[in-house]
A = this chain, B = another copy of it.
């Protein structure tokens, strides 16, 4: 059996998996991003994990490595200026992994990887036009139009998280202000919650939680227990997100938006008000036509299945069975 190594690099963890051609995850590991001083510390642990994972399946051939990462330039094989990663300004990740494992290695923007995964195996399996938003530490986005990943002239298109939604607004990891991801992401709702705790005087269980302890999950649990601050935080987040989705409809006309990532696990708390705001804002032609769906993959496997599907796409014997074309890869 041929297998692919898939690596999903994120702000809080790197997920590593061994995946078969049908998108089954054969084995997996998660490594925290904490405690690394530089990329070499990180790579040493990563290499070790990949070897351990593979050792159990050593009779199977690994045909390639797929990597999904934020802030990457796929056609140059490098990660550049990644604010949330313990990396130097520029890391030639494809070169580094090819040198280590001597396997063809492919790089794709994390958001596009999630979109590929969702389109190949998940909620967008039968769609040609859809947008996947991954609401995690940041806001990842992948846009598929006419079955093509929109990768743009430099291979980094789809950076929806860095659309400016509020002039002079919150400082963002990218160094600018008012980016969508500073409002709509697991971190964004935490910031909104702290703002609400400051602005209002409602009793709230969240007044006993530090900024560093607070999670989207914790806010979601509080909201379900009737915490007014937590509920307001979801409404505000939905207000930002719904308006942005409506604007995206006028530009892309997707059949559906798929919301994945930690914040999306809040379910109806997020989906119901987001859809309401989007519908209110849409041009009349589009009302009640655009779906907003949760990821259909187990605990958001899209991010880890996407890089694997990139390996299969580039592995010639499988070329015909892959649904998507990828512009810049």
Using a CB–CB cutoff of 8 Å, the interface residues on chain A facing chain B are: 80-81, 128-129, 143, 145-146, 148, 150-160, 162-164, 174-176, 243, 246-247, 250-255, 281, 283-286, 289, 325, 327
Contacts and interface: CB of A to CB of B under 8 A. Distances in A.
A140 to B, nearest CB: 13
A159 B81 contact: no
A202 B159 CA distance: 42
28 contacts: A80-B285, A128-B153, A143-B251, A145-B145, A145-B327, A146-B148, A146-B325, A150-B252, A152-B253, A153-B253, A154-B253, A154-B286, A154-B289, A156-B253, A156-B285, A157-B253, A158-B251, A159-B251, A159-B283, A160-B250, A162-B250, A163-B247, A164-B243, A164-B246, A164-B247, A174-B283, A176-B281, A251-B251
Nearest to A80: B285
Given A162-B283, A243-B164, A284-B81, A254 B146 contact: no
A157 B246 contact: no
Query: Copy number of this protein in the oligomer?
Result: 2
Contacts of A250: 157, 159-160, 162-163
Contacts of A175: 284
A129 B328 CA distance: 12
Contacts of A253: 151-157
Nearest to A145: B150
A9 B150 CA distance: 30
Given A146-B150, A152-B253, A164-B281, 19 more contacts: A129-B152, A145-B148, A145-B152, A145-B327, A146-B327, A150-B251, A151-B253, A152-B254, A153-B253, A154-B285, A154-B286, A154-B289, A156-B253, A156-B285, A160-B250, A164-B246, A174-B284, A175-B284, A176-B283
Nearest to A141: B251
Contacts of A281: 164, 176
A202 to B, nearest CB: 26
A294 to B, nearest CB: 19
Given A80-B285, A145-B150, A289-B154, A163 B251 contact: yes
Nearest to A162: B250
A251 B145 CA distance: 13
A167 to B, nearest CB: 8
Most buried by B among A162, A250, A289: A250
A262 B302 CA distance: 46
Q: Which 10 residue pairs of A and B lie closest in terms of their CB atoms, listed nearest first?
A: A152-B253, A157-B253, A159-B250, A153-B255, A129-B153, A163-B247, A162-B250, A153-B253, A146-B327, A154-B253
Contacts of A164: 243, 246-247, 281
Contacts of A159: 250-251, 283
A60 to B, nearest CB: 35
A127 to B, nearest CB: 8
Nearest to A326: B146
